[in-house]
Amino acid sequence: MRDLVLLLIGLFLAVGCTQKQQTDGLKDAYKDDFYIGAAVNTSQYSGRDARALPILKEHFNSITPENDLKWENIHPERDTYNFEEADKFVEFGVQNEMFIVGHTLVWHSQTPDWVFEDEEGNPISREELLARMKDHIYTVVGRYRGKIDGWDVVNEAVNDDGTIRESPWYNIIGKDYIAKAFQFAHEADPEAELYYNDYNLHLPDKADAAAEWVKEVQDSGVRVTGIGMQGHYGLDYPTKEALERSINLFGELGIVAITELDIDVLPSPFQYTGADISRRAELRDELNPYTENLPDSMVQKQTDQFKLLFEVFHKQSDVINRVTTWGVTDGDSWKNGWPMPGRTNYPLLFDREGNPKPAVEALKDIATN
């Protein structure tokens, strides 16, 4: 009888452990490694998207706003700030005890023309643009001081060949605009983590240039906490070796964050692996082959690539503090509209119905083995 009781207890505990393992999310699997984050939109953190909300709470412990903190949304006119949606985003993160990331303060894209021009449409002076940058950063970062944990301070300032992007920021202020942005952000919130964020940082020339720029800013006495590697990847890139090289390089400068992870499964209209949203192409049938569903063979290829990436991330979790996917479900992804509108893409870990793809369990296994 005693043996039977012990057997029943053992079965009960085993079932309980199995159920717990099945319900644990990605954030639980990687709790000893890094945060698991997602970029979110207004409908998701407001609760209107009924599919995304339970996924966010089960699998993610960090959030980044996809658009609501970008300059054109939060500061569309010189004397106008729109904080309503950003406030809701931050409140959602605080209520759910998430690591909150602000995206983004200084970027050449999605920044209104008025930022760089006077009333006649002429370029303003260096001094005036620095004043506008400082006012914006002080106002936005200062409002969320102590609530937003980290900021993408400067976004996409380096070209793929390693040269500096000749944006209005660079052309008007000069190369020190990067250091000034980080200086203002640190003054506005001395405790926040501050990142330089860019795509294609698995490319050696671009990675080396970004590291050089960041080190130069750090050596000048300005705080840069780390580098955000936008993970806009494909089925056959980056290689494990290229990824490890960049993470090792950036790890010498501070924190490494994987900030915008997705894996594109569709053919590209041009020989390009980046995420320059100004690039556009014409929609053709051969560029949109999976309008109904993704074939099992492609699901497996994507799963294998996610596994390759997370094996590297898990191995280098001593320097990586966050892995963030750029969206929650496939239907949310910006890749459905870039580089041409109307495509059906499948770049994320959860399908359009909110169901986890096979990659989710595969990634959990990596964390626990």
158: helix, strand or coil? strand
Annotation says 260 is catalytic: yes
Strands 193-198 and 35-40: unpaired
Residue 212 has which token pair? 């050089």
User: Is residue 258 within 8 Å of 231, Cβ to Cβ?
Assistant: yes
Closest Cα partner for 242 from 183, 194, 309?
309
Centroid of chain to Cα 176? 25
Residue 230 has which token pair? 């936008």
Of 260, 292, 353, 361, which residue is the catalytic one? 260
Of 66, 85, 156, 193, which residue is the catalytic one? 156
Residue 37 has which token pair? 């984050």
> Which amino acid appears at position 20 of this protein?
K
Phi and psi, residue 332, nearest 5°: -85, -20
Residue 39 has which token pair? 């970029």
88: helix, strand or coil? helix
Residue identified by tokens 């939060």 is 74
The CA distance from 175 to 162, in Å, is: 14
Q: Which residues are catalytic?
A: 156, 260
